[in-house]
Amino acid sequence: MDTDRLNRWLTLAANIAVLVGIFFLAAEISQNTEMMRAQINQSRAEASMSEAQSLYSSQHLPEILVKLRQGSPITAVERERYTHFLRGLHKNLDNQLRQHREGFLADNIPQSVRGAILYEIVPIEVARQEWKRTRQTFSEEYAAFVDNILAEKPE
């Protein structure tokens, strides 16, 4: 009987140890999730700073953007530069919406992405033309998102 009683105590202790291990594992997963969120936010901040720096440090892009916003024509070389700028902008916005859908980014992201599209794409004819030409290179969800915004605004 002593052996049976000892077995029960050992089984109870092992079960408690498993539960404690599961608790610590859940706590570690939660910490890792929060760490990932912090890293994502840091990465987004760095990307935003890098984008801003590329704009204000560029010898060409600010002039191109001013011309486009004023409705002035741009050269073929300027259009090529602008096309690459737009591709990067769309990839970044597409990625933000995807991360939001997956629960990594805050609820304000769709509104923020919408604001960027309204400012950078809707009022600029060349941007709308490039979107029509390149929209198939982005996710279906992002393409639908942009298309819906463009449909709301007259060209």
Segments in 1-155 forming alpha helices (H): 2-57, 61-70, 76-101, 109-120, 125-134, 140-152
Residue scoring higher pLDDT (134 or 27): 134
User: How many separate domains does the chain show?
Assistant: 2
pTM of the model: 0.74
Whole-number Å distance between alpha carbons of 39 and 9:
45
Residue scoring higher pLDDT (34 or 137): 137
**49 shares its domain with 64:** no
Please, are residues 128 and 121 in contact by the beta-carbon 8 Å criterion?
yes
pLDDT digits (tens, 9 = 90+) for 102-154: 888 889 999 999 999 999 999 999 999 999 999 999 999 999 999 999 999 65
Per cent of the chain over pLDDT 90 is 67
Domain residues for 119? 59-155
pLDDT at 154: 58
Whole-number Å distance between alpha carbons of 49 and 52:
5
**110 shares its domain with 134:** yes
Residue scoring higher pLDDT (34 or 22): 22
**31 shares its domain with 51:** yes
Phi and psi, residue 86, nearest 5° = -60, -40
